Chains A and B, each alone.
Chain A
Amino acid sequence: MTPAVSFQKVSRHFGSIRAVDAVDLDIVPGEFFAMLGPSGSGKTTCLRLIAGFEQPTAGSIAIFGERAEGVPPYRRNVNTVFQDYALFPHLNVLDNVAYGLMVKRVGKAERHKAAEEALSLVRLPGYGARRPGQLSGGQRQRVALARALVNQPKVLLLDEPLGALDLKLRENMQEELKSLQKALGITFVFVTHDQGEALSMADRVAVFNDGRIMQIGTPEDIYQRPSTRFVADFVGSSNVLPPDFVQRHAGQRRWASLRPEAIRVGRAANGEGVAARLVSSNYLGATTRLALDADGLKLHAVVPAGAALPAEGEAVLLTFNREHLHLMDEAV
Chain B
Amino acid sequence: MRSDRGQRAPLGLKIAAACGLLFLHLPILLIFVYAFTTEEKSFVWPPPGLTTQWFAVTWNRPDVWEALSLSVRVAAISTTIALVLGTLCAAAVSRTKFFGRETISLLVILPIALPGIITGIALRSAFSLADIPFSFWTIVLGHATFCVVVVYNNAVARFRRTSGSMIEASMDLGADGFQTFRHIMLPNIATALLAGGMLAFALSFDEVIVTTFTAGQQQTVPIWMLEELIRPRQRPVTNVVAMVVVLVTLLPILFAYYLTRDGDQIAGSGK
Contacts and interface: CB of A to CB of B under 8 A. Distances in A.
Interface in A223-268: none
Interface stretch (B1-9, B166-174, B216-224): B166-174
Contacts, number: 84
B270 interface: yes
Contact of A89 (B172, B176, B183, B267): B267
B187 to A, nearest CB: 5
B184 interface: yes
Contacts of A151: 173-174
B173 A100 contact: yes
Interface in B232-271: 265, 267-271
Nearest to B171: A73
Contacts of B169: 80, 82, 86-88, 147
A103 B174 contact: yes
Contacts of A73: 168, 171-172
Interface in B127-174: 163, 165-166, 168-174
A147 B176 CA distance: 17
A53 interface: yes
Given A90-B188, A103-B179, A85 B174 contact: no
Residue of B171, B268, B270 with highest tally of chain A CB at under 10 A: B270
A104 interface: yes
Contact of B184 (A78, A88, A137, A140): A88
Contact of A80 (B172, B176, B188): B172
Contacts of B176: 72, 74, 103
Interface residues of A, number: 30
Residue of B170, B174, B269 with highest tally of chain A CB at under 10 A: B174
A99 interface: yes
B175 interface: yes
A143 B168 CA distance: 16
B183 A164 contact: no
A65 interface: no
A79 B163 contact: no
A86 B166 contact: yes
B174 A100 contact: yes
Contact of A74 (B165, B171, B271): B171
A100 to B, nearest CB: 4
Contacts of B265: 89, 133
Interface string A90-108: 1000000001101110000
Contacts of A100: 173-174
Contact of A90 (B163, B267, B269, B270): B267
Given A84-B270, A102-B183, 13 more contacts: A53-B171, A72-B171, A78-B172, A79-B172, A82-B165, A86-B163, A88-B166, A89-B188, A89-B265, A90-B267, A99-B183, A100-B173, A103-B174
Shortest 3 CB-CB contacts between residues of A and residues of B: A84-B270, A100-B173, A86-B169
23 contacts: A51-B168, A73-B172, A74-B173, A74-B174, A74-B175, A79-B173, A84-B163, A84-B269, A85-B270, A86-B168, A86-B270, A87-B270, A88-B184, A89-B265, A89-B267, A89-B268, A90-B188, A100-B173, A103-B174, A103-B179, A133-B265, A137-B271, A151-B173
Interface of B: 163, 165-166, 168-176, 179, 183-184, 187-188, 265, 267-271
